[in-house]
Structure formats: C-alpha cells, structure tokens
Structure 1
Amino acid sequence: NANVDERYNIEKETEAACAYLLKAYAKYHDWMTVAASYNAGQGGISTRIEKQHQRSALNLWLPEETSRYMFRILTAKLMFENPSAFGFSLEPEDYYRYVPPRKTITVTEDIKNLPDFAAANGVSYFQLRNANLWLKELNLKVSGKKSYKIKIPAE
C-alpha cells in the first residue's frame, strides 16, 4: 500500500523484531549469530554456517556490512544498558516522552482526507502524523479485509 509504511509502526515493528529474535535464538542459540541473521537473513547465515562448518557468526566469513552490524548492535545494547560507562549523562527529561493516545480508532474503510479526519477527532494533521508515523500520504486506502489502528493523540 503506497499510503502506508508499517515499518514505522513502532508497536508492530517491535513485536515483529522480538518474534524474529526469539525464533532465531531458538535456532542458533547464540546472540551474535542472531544479530548477524537479523542483518543478513536466516537463510544467508544458515548457508554460511553449513558451508563454512562453523556454529557461531564470530567464526564465519561474512559480508562486511553484516560483520560491522553485529558489533554495532552489541555496542548499542551495552550503551543502552549503561550509558554512563560510555560518557553519556542522561536525565529523565532527555528521553523521548511517550504520550499514550487519547483513543485508538480501527479503520476498515478508506479515509479520503486525513487532515479532515484529524480535525473531526480534535487534533491537527501534524499531531495525527506524529502519533502514526506509518501514514505516508494525505489519505489512507484500506484494501480487502485489512484494517489499521490509528492513534488519536492526547495532545
């Protein structure tokens, strides 16, 4: 759908990523190999494991992008766990402030004009888009039995 990019739907993307990571860990039993597979795909990593007779991505010859990704994601994890160890001093006000939606509307039919939809729900189009980053256009097409959950922000 040209009107939607659900990779920017934080909830759906997070759930999909977590499901992938758990499934990959059940297969590889090694977090670095899981990280490599998140970047290169399970098929690519499994093929390399089989052909190179290794079990861990740390012992595989991998594309440069994947090799770098593994260590970058590990570094990001460590930084999130202990920012001060890396020279970051973060206060609560430095973090992104999550504002829960005032309500969520399940949409099963096209919305021809999202700015009008926003106004009818008491918010600006700017606020609506900020709460729903996955919306890409001024309208929303809903095909087949698909539905979308649009968050109406509290502020």
Structure 2
Amino acid sequence: MMGFDSPQMQELMRLYVTIHRIAKVGMSVPILVASALSDPYLSFAAALNGLAGPLHGLPNQEVLLWSKTVVEECGENTTTEQLKDHVWKTLNSGKAVPGFGHGVLRKTDPRYTCQREFALKHLPNDPLFQLVKNPWPDVDAHSGVFLSYYGLTEARYYTVLLKRFGY
C-alpha cells in the first residue's frame, strides 16, 4: 500500500513489525484501561497516545537524524576516533546519544541482533549502518536506518508506522 514492493523491503517490514510489536506501553496500557471496563476504543486510543511520547514513538527517528549528523560532519567513512569525538560532543552538550546505552540494558538487545543480521545480509556497506556500534545498542539503534535505506525517508512518519502496526 505504501508503494514499496521489493522483496527486501517486504522482508524488512515483516522483521520490523514483529520486533516492534514487543512494547510494554503498546501492550500494557490498553489492558490497564480496559480493566476499568472502559470502551475498547478508549483502551486502544490510550495505547496510541502512550506511544506518541518521545521515549516510545521517536527513538528510531532520533537515531537516524543523529546518525546523519555524524555522516554530514565526519563523512561516509567515519573513523572510530571521529565517532568517539562526535559522541562526546553530543554528551557534553547535555544530550543523550539515541539508541544506545538504554537504562535497563547491560547486554545488547536481542531485537537489535535480529536487525543486525538483516543489515549484514542486505546493506553491510551502508555508511549509516556502519555507525551502529556498542555500548548496548537497543532495538531503535538502526531500525530508522533501514527504513531510510529502502526509501522511506520521511522520518516524521516513523512514529505513525509504529502506531499503525501496534508498537
């Protein structure tokens, strides 16, 4: 329906939807609201509104935009030292580096690992994918990179995409 009919994009969307459906807000909020015997539509609306916040609806968009600033400032062949400097620049400005060091993760997110396998198979040389490194990348560390790579370049649409598929 969105005009993306390549087999790789279809494979990505199957992976993307499966991985992103596992979300605490998207699953727990409607159950909580429904437990008060609220109308099912109100329960669904509550879940969507909960996902609209920046901690659930925007991370993959923020990661993509941050990664693009790295490539813009450092070039497509960013060295580890340049990346390290850019990370410190971001942190010293009082901002977090999106998609990394999730508060509860002390190991790599297994949903990230599934996406990494996809990336190694289909876009191993993409400069934005090359930026995704430890510490402890989470599910959003490169999901936006994939969408952009396959032509869904309007990052503001990513939150809508997540809501549409139940994230």
TM over 0.5: no
Rg larger in structure: 1
Structure-2-length-normalised TM-score: 0.23
Higher helix share: 2
Q: Which has the higher contact order (CA 8 A, sep 6+)?
A: 2
- In the superposition, the TM-score normalised over structure 1's length comes to 0.24
